[in-house]
Chains A and B, each alone.
Chain A
């Protein structure tokens, strides 16, 4: 325990000796991107979990998971940086951590796996961290969270007469990229080559999931700044394939995928080509639940979502109008059929009884001419 006290600042040290309490709900690890370049992912996630009634609590004083720079440089560093966050969640009494960023999810769960399986790591970790660490916290991502809630989403996404679901019949391409599904042991139970969880969520929202080829291809990840040309080459192939297969927007669950496809899309598309909106899966669910676009941060993208959203709204109105009209037509037809049947029955009974005929034709004046 002497190692625990040494080199630790007073407030953090004080935190580590607080008795673990049983926490309710889920520990939330936003990660740097959700606090920085992707505030709309954080915003829409918080709005959706609130609407779904899932309480989340941000881990106090969390640190960066190290992302690819961490494990690319040093394996142990790539394990220890995320492990500190798991230790913090553990000290708070949580047994589950929600990491919506695919890179954070990957690093947190890779650290958990490494400490559980690599020889000597579980013994070394408390000394490296300067904190007790039992590796008892499970890690899951936003797709898993929403997939678990898909029955509720489906129920709530159905049309209300005042607010039609704008997503019904809209074609969306679920883009998983790398770190939600690879390595296969960290794919959250989904198929690493042909994942379906995000597609299931899209269908639960009332939209149509597009069958396409680039679901699990890499967007160029961390090379956004250091090798932009690679990102543009890889991103172009993804956007083109989605478009070729009829997608009206691409759905992501990773801030790196988002910024590579959104911010860099201008460099990928030819002049005159319609840009493809890139939406977070939480924004899609939020729209299906009827949350206002502003509360989902949909105005923060580089590929403007406003024209897409206006189009969805118009289509939803037309659809509701058409459904109403076809329902009215069907009702009218059914009424006419019922009247005809009544007429025929009346005619039959008049043939049989003779004297009741005038009364029957009075009862159905609209079909009286046919009789």
Chain B
């Protein structure tokens, strides 16, 4: 059973997560503990308010949801079990679906490169991830000075570690409807 009005973003969120964001009473405890509140335009309790009452597009095109580190501090401390971290996850998903997600270029590139690595090898190949990230962002010099040190410490594998069941992983991506 849902408690939000149909046709609203809050309703879509509730259908996906079972959480009606309107139950947030804006105490701000989530935002007090949020490590990214300092850098975000909207803090967690403000995201909760916007997805409840704000225009759908503005909520889905908000950059702050992409600055969430998914540390779960907000959800752990919410006195009303509103689970802002789970709500933000759902908003991100809807935002990607809507086709006009506004994510910081570097963060979007990182997620895409990360998932691409998993899809093609089944595991993450850090070197491949960084290469792909660089190509996607154009920031070719990023962390270049760390590479020799990492290599010397045995922390960089040159070759990707591809699993035998990579087709199973591809199948999972397909069934979930995700194409990185």
Show the binding face of A for B, using Cβ within 8 Å: 7-9, 11-12, 32, 35-39, 61-64, 66-78, 80-81, 84, 127-131, 178-179, 181-184, 192-193, 216-218, 220-223, 225-228, 230, 233-234, 263, 299-302
Contacts and interface: CB of A to CB of B under 8 A. Distances in A.
Interface SS, B side: helix
B107 A218 contact: no
A64 B172 CA distance: 12
A352 B67 CA distance: 93
A218 B172 contact: no
A58 B163 CA distance: 14
A74 B93 contact: yes
Interface stretch (B1-9, B53-61, B111-119): B111-119
B110 A84 contact: no
Contacts of A221: 69-71
B155 A8 contact: no
A179 B142 CA distance: 27
Interface residues of B, number: 64
Nearest to B96: A73
A37 B165 contact: no
30 contacts: A8-B165, A9-B164, A9-B168, A11-B164, A32-B123, A36-B126, A36-B156, A61-B122, A66-B115, A71-B89, A72-B68, A73-B178, A74-B96, A80-B176, A84-B169, A84-B172, A130-B171, A178-B72, A178-B73, A183-B85, A218-B73, A222-B69, A225-B129, A225-B130, A226-B109, A226-B110, A227-B104, A227-B106, A233-B38, A299-B153
A66 B118 contact: yes
B70 A37 contact: no
Contacts of A263: 146, 150
Contact of B171 (A7, A216, A223): A7
A223 B172 contact: no
A301 B155 CA distance: 10
B167 A226 contact: no
B69 A37 contact: no
B170 to A, nearest CB: 8
B135 interface: no
Given A225-B129, A263-B150, 10 more contacts: A36-B156, A37-B150, A63-B165, A66-B115, A72-B68, A75-B90, A84-B168, A131-B168, A221-B69, A300-B153
Nearest to B126: A36
Nearest to B65: A72
